[in-house]
Amino acid sequence: MQHQPQSGEPKTLVLSHAGDRVKKTNVRWMVVVILFLVTLINYADRSSISLAGPSMAKELGLNAVDMGFIFSAFGWAYVIFQLPGGWLLDRFGSKIIYSLGIFLWSLFTLMTGLAGFVTGGTAVAVIFALRFLVGAAEAPSFPANSRLVAAWFPAAERGTAAAIFSSAQYGATVFFAPLMGWLAHNYGWHSVFTVLGLIGICFIPVFRKLVYAPSQHPMANEAELSYIEQGGALVNLDRDKTADEDGSGKPRLGYVKQLLASRMMMGIYLAQYCLNAIGFFFITWFPIYLVQEKHMTIMKAGFVAAIPAVCGFLGGLLGGFLSDILIRRGVSLSLARKLPITVGMLLCCIMVACNYTDSETVVIVIMALSFLGKGIGGLGWTVNADTAPKQIAGLSGSLLTPSVMHQASPPRLLLATFCKRPVLLTMCWFLSLLMRWR
């Protein structure tokens, strides 16, 4: 029987056996590293056409209009297959759909390198079709990332986790643009698609081995599962889909109407459009601008384009980290997400100043600062993970479709928007104002 000390008696020190406590694993951080790597490959494949494009156009006899159609192919498919991709994620789970997507987009990228056997209109049709298929295969990728982060991470770590995989869009330029420029310069544009396609296919076994739902991961212990679940992670989001016999957990496309009727969700979707429009201009048209307007070699353009990308990469990590720090210090979730977004996008507006200088160096500096701001403000996928209903997290992610509509826009419209008019400034302000969820 344990002795209860009387009033005035010294209290007995109770020894706790710390060694008996099970230390929680940190598998969630390994999972987000895998998401970062696969998103690097994803963005390298989608942006490969920008660095291979000039050589491709010259060899196949394609003009600017032809290249504009080819560039838009990815965007059309990405838009069209967003909702089906989100539905498939919610129906069958992230792992199987993501794995299939990686294989297909890598295969179609690899096949693009074989298009050199045709020229003229036939070449446009073949490359357009292959880029369309790449866009269709990549459509579920970011909704899948968002679902996995929602499943694996508590709210106080979700900003950092989403920032890690989102920063891969800049990291792809940092790590792959010099490689693509070197390949195109030394071995021809075909080699760019061949090498990137093979890299993606070789990465599939790594993804399959290391990525699972939290409740099914062989490396995660109960301590980690308990920790993330108590913090708000949806650990059963990707449970075994075959166990859902009554169909109550199946996604229904009718939920889309409810999402679109929500002022909060519409604000998030429209804001993401403004954010990603800037990124699309950078990964697709900025290298071509450097080659055609600044008369750089393809290899030099690849290295120069990496400079703003480094700033965007660092800004992306910084924005998510600061947001989570604010939450841990007691700031509300709403303010912790809004503050980095607003500050980052205000800094991003400096891109407009590129219209008023002819200096190569000044343009690079301005773009670097602008993409630092875009990175800091790039918390759209974090916000989606915070707010989307768990049963339709994939569908909600796919409704960030407006964020990719600009990819299907004619190239002249894009260039007029970003290079000739201060529309970007208005778009950035709308981003800051629309993020008003409660």
Structure token digits, residue 295: 């008369």
In this structure, is the dihedral angle defined by the CA atoms of residues 47, 53, 54 and 55, taken in order, positive or negative? positive
Contacts made by residues 322-331, CB under 8 angstroms, sequence distance 24+ = 322/376, 323/159, 323/160, 323/163, 323/379, 323/382, 324/156, 324/157, 324/158, 324/159, 324/160, 327/155, 327/156, 327/159, 328/156
| 373 closest CA partner among 330, 314, 286, 414 | 314
In whole angstroms, give the CA distance from residue 245 to residue 391: 15
Domain membership flag for residue 20:
no
- Confidence band of 108 (pLDDT split at 50, 70, 90): very high
Domain membership flag for residue 17:
no
In whole angstroms, give the CA distance from residue 232 to residue 162: 15
Q: Does pLDDT of 201 surpass 90?
A: yes
| 98 closest CA partner among 249, 244, 206 | 206
In the chain, pLDDT over 90 holds for what percent of residues?
A: 13
Domain membership flag for residue 98:
yes
pLDDT reported for residue 394: 58
In whole angstroms, give the CA distance from residue 30 to residue 126: 39
Q: Please tell me the pTM assigned to this model.
A: 0.72
Domain membership flag for residue 243:
no
Domain membership flag for residue 12:
no
- Percent of the chain as helix, strand, coil, to the nearest 5: 80, 0, 20
**Following DSSP, what letter does each residue of 325-354 receive, concatenated?**
HHHHTT--HHHHHHHHHHHHHHHHGGGGGG
Number of domains the chain contains: 1
Domain membership flag for residue 109:
yes
pLDDT reported for residue 109: 92
In whole angstroms, give the CA distance from residue 372 to residue 315: 5
Structure token digits, residue 319: 């924005």
Domain membership flag for residue 215:
yes
Enumerate the H helices of 61-93 as residue ranges: 64-80, 82-92
CB atoms within 10 A of CB 30: 16
The answer to whether 425 and 292 are in contact (CB under 8 A) is no
**Residue range of the domain that includes 122:** 25-231+261-434
Average pLDDT of the residues in 256-266: 72
Q: How far apart are the first and last CA of the chain?
A: 53
The answer to whether 46 and 138 are in contact (CB under 8 A) is yes
The answer to whether 120 and 61 are in contact (CB under 8 A) is yes
Average pLDDT of the residues in 351-365: 81
Q: Does pLDDT of 414 surpass 60?
A: no
The answer to whether 90 and 395 are in contact (CB under 8 A) is yes
In the chain, pLDDT over 70 holds for what percent of residues?
A: 74
Q: What is the mean pLDDT of the chain?
A: 76
**Helices 155-166, 141-152: inter-axial angle, 10-degree rounding:** 150
Q: Does pLDDT of 432 surpass 60?
A: no
Q: Residue 378's domain is classified under what CATH number?
A: 1.20.1250.20
Domain membership flag for residue 367:
yes
